Amino acid sequence: MHSSFHRRTRRTLATIAFAALLAGIPALPSSALGGNDAGRAIVDAPDGNGYAIISATGGQYNYGSSRFSGSLAGTHLNAPIVAAVAIPGAGDAKWYVAADGGVFTEGSGGQFFGSMAGRPLNAPMTAILASPTGKGYLLVAADGGTFAFGDYPFPGSLGGLRLNAPVVDAARDSDPRHVWLVASDGGVFALGTTPFFGSMGGRPLNAPMTAILASPTGKGYLLAARDGGTFAFGDFPFPGSLAGLRLNAPVVDAALAGHGTGVWLLGEDGGIFALSAPFYGNALSEANPPHPTYPAPVPGNGGLVNVSCPAGGAITVAAQIAANLKDLLTAAKTAGYSLCGSGWRSAQRQIELRKQNCGSSYEAIWVWPSSRCNPATAIPGTSMHEKGLAVDFTSATTAGFNWLKANAPGFGLYLLISGTEPWHFSTNGR
């Protein structure tokens, strides 16, 4: 550990793209991330042309070329998510780490190598670093303790040392053994043989530090404070700063923009500040977004019709299939099966079912494929039920469902193509 500190004072003009409005998705009433679902981490896309915002509940919001890789939103967590990192060689897959040391793998291609969940910790976790191979990771705690999993080599640790302030973030260069830790007071700790380029430790700060980024060359780093102030050391070029500007929420994380030295800063409210970097959008309205507007599915010619069931009740469907459905119910009754069910449903009802069967997060309602829900439920605006062209039959035994599978096609209704829902029939098998 190096004990000498110096302040780099070089500050050059830089293009600062400050964006406070949503970009790339429809404008929505402001309802920023915050509280239990505050913004926590920003992860750059594999090609550098976008980023993902990760919230404390594990929600994921993607912009630019970043692709959705999964979400923990709606899942019970024992502790909030505090950091995330891209998994090298696994596309858009990511690792999340929670304050209690739990590790979560989101996206195909990523592997789980263990965690500290359920183990006694002296301090909460604050950072996670990925091995260059994608076959391991390093967890970092607020007391400077480090925990290596998979093929990540142990780089050293500050655990057991008395620190003036807690560690808030970590960074590495191309050698995973070269790890820098930054404390909230601006102190930088270079573990093992890692080169030291200076710090803000012992200097007056307007706001605590919150992030550290390594230079692509491994010969410098950038510190970012909660007020958006930035401090460049070594060969990291000064990207600009938000210091002196009034922010609606503190900066909580930072990411390199692409493969250069532009920087994205993440606000706790989901706001993104692009310093010498392109802006792709932010999550200012993702905490409680209204549903996107889409053309309401319109039943076919003749509107909706109620078809009476033999034993009482009725099924509401589009008029164009009403006659066939009536004949099907009559034929089933003759064969010994008294059927009824539900047909048309409103867009609002489809949203309610997605919340019930998939989860209440934005992604769960509007992004996840139907197969991720239990039972499978179409994204609002795409369901055949909303068109009145599908029926979920009830009051049927297994024999009754088998009879439907064999006979319903003769009446223009087909079992769901996947075959996973023996009660769902529609005009196109979807």
Residue 54 buriedness (CB in 10 A; 0-12 / 13-18 / 19+): buried
Q: Name the CATH topology of 16-275.
A: Methylamine Dehydrogenase; Chain H (2.130.10)
For 376-410, write each residue's pLDDT tens digit.
888 888 889 988 999 999 866 889 999 999 999 99
From-to residues of CATH 3.30.1380.10 in the chain: 304-426
Instruction: Supply the pLDDT for residue 301.
Output: 61
Complete edge-to-edge strand list for the sheet that includes strand 81-86? 81-86, 94-98, 103-106
Question: Hey, is 329 helix, strand or coil?
Answer: helix
95-109, 224-238, 242-256, 356-370: segment of lowest average pLDDT:
356-370
**Least confident stretch, 119-128, 215-224, 355-364:** 355-364
Q: Please check the confidence at residue 107 and state whether its pLDDT lies above 80.
A: yes
Residue ranges of the chain assigned to CATH 2.130.10.10: 16-275
pLDDT the model gives residue 309: 94
Supply the pLDDT for residue 35: 67
Residue 5, pLDDT score? 27
pLDDT, tens digit (0-9, with 9 covering 90-100), for 7-16: 222 222 233 3
Q: Is the domain defined by 304-426 classed in CATH 3.30.1380.10? A: yes
Round the average pLDDT of the chain to a whole number and report it. 86
Instruction: Find out whether 191 and 156 touch, Cβ atoms under 8 Å.
Output: yes
Q: What is the pLDDT of residues 263-301, one digit of tens each?
A: 999 999 999 999 999 998 888 755 444 455 555 555 656
222/387: higher pLDDT: 222
Cα–Cα distances in angstroms (integers) from residue 77 to residues 98, 104, 124, 193, 367, in the given order: 8, 11, 15, 36, 21
pLDDT band at 23 (very low <50, low <70, confident <90, very high): very low
Query: What values do phi and psi take at 272, rounded to 5?
Result: -120, 135
Q: CA 114 → CA 56, 103, 424, distances in Å? A: 20, 7, 41
